[in-house]
Amino acid sequence: MDFYGDNTRWFFATVIEKDPEERGRFKIRVAGLHSETVDDKFLPFAQAMVPTTEGGTSGIGQIPQLEPGAFVYGVFLDGRKSQSPLILGSVAHKELPSSVQIEEKNAAGGGRVGTNATSRTTYLSRRPVVILDGSLVDLYAKGNASTDVRRMIIMQFLVNNGLSVVAAAGVTGNLEAESTFVPTKNYKTDNENSWGLAQWNDDAGRLQPLIDYANNSNKDWLDFFVQLEFLIVDMKTNSNSYHRVWSHLFDRSKTLDFCGGKKDSNATWYFFNKFEIGNPQYFPQREKLAFKAYDQWRRSKEASVNNSKGSK
């Protein structure tokens, strides 16, 4: 006999809009389930929990007050069918204006963007959301973490933000080849001056956006986690559409492997070719590093499961 809770499925999601019928529901886009290509009109409405200090019956107490752009977590009441979401709470997160918002603001002479209700909902829903788990900061140990630990921190960070393990491995393999996960890494030649985890090229105008991102947050642009946050923002909103690789990597029907050679379904190649725009002769090493990231991730998860079983 099945009992509710036996097959629980959790989710993280972004609130897109409030219920126009004012019944306390919220339309949400679930990370890992609804790609950015899914139109808002096809997204589900979720019920939301309220504190037990509220009355819990019609006309008594308050209704949830989440706003578009809020990042929430919850559970699907119907398990893997994933059709009946229930929001349990919201999660603190960081947002930056998207390229669309910036263009709108510039067109308006620097004024506020999305001043009417419809525009505000649309633009808020497009803001890139970046999740930073505090436990990853602890693992980094103020820069004392080994290369192996940094590899797993980056894998977990990318997975937390919605990439599949396969896509995360492809990106992580590239980052290791670029910088060995050292945020202060600088590669300088007569033709190039590149910095950081992804070797953002100053001469190509790709470093300054990272510096601006950090300055807007009053943080150091050489910080490991600032660069990881910006990496996702850059992949989502880069002014050059060629570098906006997030949507493709996020789509599990398009990103199938990390060691498949020079084809777009290979996350390692896609990130290398589109985002890094590197010399193909250096590509094979990146596939090996992507496999290393994937294999270490798999083994760490198996060890966690075995340890959990052994403690029971």
CA-based radius of gyration for the chain = 21
> Is residue 41 scored above 90 in pLDDT?
no
Residue with tokens 């470093």: 207
The answer to whether the beta carbons of residues 88 and 75 sit under 8 Å apart is yes
Contact assessment for residue 292 and residue 173, using Cβ atoms and an 8 Å cutoff: yes
**Model confidence over 81-97: pLDDT tens digits?**
888 899 998 876 555 44
pLDDT digits (tens, 9 = 90+) for 55-79: 555 545 566 778 787 888 899 888 8
In the block, which residue shows the tokens 């939301």? 48
Residue 55 neighbours by CB distance under 10 Å: 11
Query: What CA–CA distance (Å, rounded) separates 261 from 185?
Result: 28
What CATH number should be reported for the domain whose range is 9-92? 2.40.50.260
Domains 9-92 and 132-303 share a fold: no
Rounded to an integer, what distance in angstroms lies between the CA atom of residue 143 and that of residue 68? 35
- Does the pTM exceed 0.75? no
Classify 162 in phi/psi space as left (phi over 0), alpha (psi -120 to 50) or beta: left
Of the two residues 124 and 50, the one the predictor is more confident about is 50
CATH number (2.40.128.110, 1.10.530.10, 1.10.150.20, 3.30.420.40) of 132-303 reads 1.10.530.10
Mean pLDDT along residues 182-209: 94
pLDDT digits (tens, 9 = 90+) for 118-164: 333 333 334 566 777 778 999 999 999 999 999 999 999 999 888 99
Q: For 185-206, what is the mean pLDDT?
A: 94
**Count of positions (residues) in the chain:** 312
Backbone angles phi, psi at 121, to 5 degrees: -65, -45
Domain boundaries, the chain: 9-92, 97-130, 132-303
pLDDT band with cut points at 50, 70 and 90 for residue 280: very high
